Structures are given as structure tokens and as C-alpha cells.
Amino acid sequence: MPPDVISQLKLESDVLAGLERNEFSMVYQPVVRLADRAVTGVEALMRWDHPVSGHIAPERFIRLAENMDSIGRLTEHAIAETCGMLQRLRTQLPQDKPFNASVNISGHDLCRDGFVDFVAFTLDRHALAPDMLRLEVTETVLVQEPDISDQNLRRLRSLGCGIAVDDFGTGYSNLAYLKTLPLTALKIDRTFAGDACSSAISRSIIRMLVGLGAELGVEIIAEGLETADCATTIAQLGCSFAQGYHFYKPLLEQDLSALVLHGDESNQHVA
Ligand code: C2E
Ligand code: CA
Ligand code: CA
């Protein structure tokens, strides 16, 4: 057997064993409203603490898992954990404070029978308003799988979940097609947002994307902001929401709760 097939098989069995042993956990990176820096939601990001290899970056295991059936199990784990966190937080938040959490999903999830039913079941099990959950799909997936994406995105949207297009600006999507999708948010990729203060081209692209967001009636979220200058520039370009190390790194649930409930920024265990 070729070595890459062996390592794929090993990864598959490691992922399944890791799910049994509870090695996968979620951390939550706050999304802020630029006008007042209020935390309006989070992006859920997966972490794998492997017993032999230690911390494995999601970019590595997610990409490999996408070639195997185990991506479905990982996505279900991410959605279940995130809904559990939302349920615990919701009981403590004022009823009128809007808050949402985004979970990253892959093209395979969108094509899978039963995925939408799993989302509906999990929201129901945690007694959550569906608009507290957003699903993030990369622009590339939308471009590659337009028919299936379209059907299942509509079903998810009719459940009441939000849909965000991730890494927007990198996938060459057909804008006429985008207009037909039931979207909630576009997330501007960090290659543009991250260098907005130093690159005139990035600023022009962001200005264009902000205009597009307004036309489509969706939120625009800038990703990967690392400096105060970039945050100021992004706000001046008309972007309303942002995410990045300048504001917050991904946090453990306990630190997110302290931040959202008490504005407590001390003692955060960055994850
Ligand atoms: P992404 O969806 O684009 O997530 C944002 C990534 O950028 C995260 O990396 C986050 O920690 C990082 N980031 C946030 N702010 C900054 C910043 O200011 N500067 C820089 N340089 N990076 C920043 P992370 O957690 O390593 O995740 C990497 C990718 O792995 C994600 O990119 C996403 O594509 C994938 N991923 C992570 N968790 C999941 C998951 O549960 N399911 C799926 N399908 N994919 C996931
Ligand atoms: Ca994402
Ligand atoms: Ca992204």
C-alpha cells in the first residue's frame, strides 16, 4: 500500500479513537461589532490533543479528514459541543442580547444525507433558537458544489440557521449566483483584511466587498485583524464586524463566558 494511503488510514482510525477518548475540543474566537467593540458572537474552532503527537493543527487534520468519512463525525462533534456551549451561555445572558456561534462545515457535510436533520435535532435537543447557530462554508465549496450546496443551504436557512461564506474574496464565486443564495454573512478573508492598512489594493477590494454586502443585505465580517491600525481602517471602510488577534484570540468556554457575562478580560487561557 502506498505510504500516503497508510497514513490516511491511520489518521482515520486515530480520529475515530480520538472521538471516543474525547481528544477533540472546541475553542471560541469572539467576533466584535466595530462600532462599540461589543462581542456579538463567536467562531467555534476545533482543537485536537493527540496522545502521541500532541496538539495537531486543524488545518492539518481537517484537510485529511475531508477525504474520509470521519469529517462527518468531526462536524457533528463541533455542532454538538457548540450548541452545548450556547445553551449554557443562553441561560445566563439577558433574553434580549443577540448572540450567535459559527461552526465551520465542509463540502462533504453539505452533500451528506441527514446533515440538515442532525442540525435540526441538535438545536432542538439544546432548546436553542436556530438563529443562534451559523454554519460557515468556504467560498470554494460554494463554487465547486453549486447544486447540492444550494439545496441544503436553503434547507438549513429555512430551519432558521445563519449561513456565512468563509474566506470570501479567494474563491472566484460568480456574483450572480451568490445573489441567489440565502446568506447571512460574508467573512472577508484575512489576506485582504489583515493588510488593509498597508495595501491600497486590499482597501479597494474591501470597499467593493462592503458594497456587495450592502447590496445583498448581509453582514460583513473582517477576519484576521492583528493591529489597531487595521481595525481603524476596516471600520473606516464601512465594515461592521471583525475578528482577529487584535481583539481576542480563540478562548476556552470558561473564559468566553467570563468575557461575555462580566466583561472579564483577565485570566484568559488563550487556546
Ligand atoms: P478559518 O475558518 O478561516 O478560521 C480562522 C483561523 O484563523 C483560525 O485558525 C484562527 O485561530 C485564525 N486566526 C484568527 N484570528 C487571527 C489573526 O488575527 N491572525 C492570524 N494569523 N490568524 C488568526 P485555526 O483555529 O488554526 O483554524 C484553521 C482552519 O481550520 C480554519 O480556518 C478552518 O478552515 C479549519 N477549522 C478549524 N476548526 C474547524 C472545524 O471545527 N471544522 C472544520 N470543517 N474546519 C475547521
Ligand atoms: Ca471559518
Ligand atoms: Ca476564514
H runs (alpha helix) in the chain: 3-20, 58-65, 70-90, 107-111, 115-125, 139-144, 146-159, 175-180, 190-193, 200-216, 228-236, 253-262
Q: Enter the C-alpha cell of residue 224.
A: 484576521
User: Are 223 and 253 contacting, i.e. CB atoms less than 8 angstroms apart?
Assistant: no
**Of the bound ligands, which one is closest to the alpha carbon of residue 224?**
1
Kindly report, residue by residue over 222-252, the tens digit of the pLDDT: 999 999 999 999 999 999 999 999 999 999 9
Q: Is 245 in the pocket of ligand 1 (CB under 6 A)?
A: yes
Kindly report, residue by residue over 67-86, the tens digit of the pLDDT: 778 899 999 999 999 999 99
Alpha carbon of 25 to ligand 1 centroid (Å):
14
Q: Is 166 in the pocket of ligand 1 (CB under 6 A)?
A: yes
Number of H helices, E strands in the chain: 12, 9
Kindly report, residue by residue over 158-173, the tens digit of the pLDDT: 999 999 999 988 877 7
Atom of ligand 1 nearest to the CA of 59: 30
pTM above 0.85, yes or no: yes
